[in-house]
Amino acid sequence: MEDINLHFTGDFHAIGLAHNLLSAAIDNHLQQGNDLNLDPRRIAWKRVMDMNDRALRNVTIGRGGPAHGVPRETGFDITVASEVMAIFCLANTLAELKEKLGDAVVGYTYDQKPVTARDLKVHGAMTVLLKDAFSPNLVQTLEHTPAFVHGGPFANIAHGCNSVVATRLSMKLSDYTVTEAGFGADLGAEKFLDIKCRKAGITPSAVVIVATIRALKLHGGVPLKDVNNENLEAVAKGVENLKKHIENIHQFGLPVVVAVNKFVTDTDAEVKTVQSKCDYLGVQVIEANHWADGGKGAIELAEAVVDLVENHENDFHYLYEDDMPLWDKVKTVAQKIYGADDIEGDQKLRDSFTALETAGYGNLPICMAKTQYSFSTDPALKGRPTGFNIPLREVRLSAGAGFIVVLAGDVMTMPGLPKKPAAEVIDINEDGQIVGLF
């Protein structure tokens, strides 16, 4: 686990290096005469690093005189938010990876024409840096079940799914492929279904929603320090959040089973409360103990998944069609998936949508970037909130990946460290063993 969560095979480093190669090429092009007439004020391609560092969100580069480059304002994103990461995870072949990297729009000329990585002639070199990383990584569980770990775009700021290559390979090698879509049915699942499935042409057979009693109590109004204490009233209130996730999946025409990942502090009465509150939705709620008992603790869950796949109707469809206007796509996600009343954006932002459609990008899907802690954009608004709007802050074109990123609320594509960073408790002992990572 330590290896996977630290450097693993170096895939993230390769993605960051490929991304920053393009960043360096942009500034070198400005320095060497700017034959493409690239406007330094309209460069959209930042740099990335695989570390939370809020101080790098906004930086000025090229200072120190003519020998040190062209001064301009830019910033850093975290590697998982890189468009290279998204392209890497959505490409089917190495040739397609190179093609999509070439399509990435890095900025605009003084007369507002797009400039791509292909124009800068570095997409081939970027592909070379990603050549080995593009092969999926085969690992195993503690019970020696094979698993692929490949790619890692976070679902709160990117599309939240592992690589298409790994998924397709697993589907070739197994009767059942289980893949994760991070951060709930409002973020990861929606993007998996509307972006990854659309791009890869794959259709899921069933969905497992994983819930915990602790999380439901948190959504029911219980402070984090008290979530280990039995509280049936809070569980019943918090189930409204779970119900919304279930309803979200049903909107895609897919059958659902809920797995309650049971902790030692959870009581049977709390689990039964969840089951009874979800009965009318026609969804099984199954207690899963695999965290303690391994595969044996998930047999009932596995049998329920097989039953869903074999015996229940699958009417899978996307939430919106390709030809829907971009603004309406965002509004559809906000209203149907988040439960919002409407979306908000100033005229400049609305004009950005219009400009993208005029440029021929109107048929692309939407990738929403917002907090994972609430259906709204307010992390403190728990449960199933109503009567709220989704404020839109920024629109970014990811032409290579093939989607439009829409930033909502205060979400940042370069996170900051908390008051007590995890690094303060991570260490290595005298035997060379890592401690404090988990």
pLDDT tens track, the chain, 438 positions: 788 888 888 899 999 999 999 999 999 999 999 999 999 999 999 999 999 999 999 999 999 999 999 999 999 999 999 999 999 999 999 999 999 999 999 999 999 999 999 999 999 999 999 999 999 999 998 899 999 999 989 999 999 999 999 999 999 999 999 999 988 899 999 999 999 999 999 999 999 999 999 999 999 999 999 999 999 999 999 999 999 999 999 999 999 999 999 999 999 999 999 999 998 888 999 999 998 899 999 999 999 999 999 998 889 999 999 999 999 999 999 999 999 999 999 999 999 999 999 999 999 999 999 999 999 999 999 999 999 999 999 999 999 999 999 999 999 999 999 999 999 999 999 999 999 887
Q: Give CA separation, 90 vs 84, 168, 187, 198, 401, in Å.
A: 10, 11, 17, 10, 7
What is the spatial distance between Cα 86 and Cα 105, in angstroms, rounded to a whole number? 14
Between strands 389-398 and 342-344, the pairing is parallel
What is the spatial distance between Cα 241 and Cα 209, in angstroms, rounded to a whole number? 12
Other beta carbons less than 10 A from residue 8's beta carbon: 15
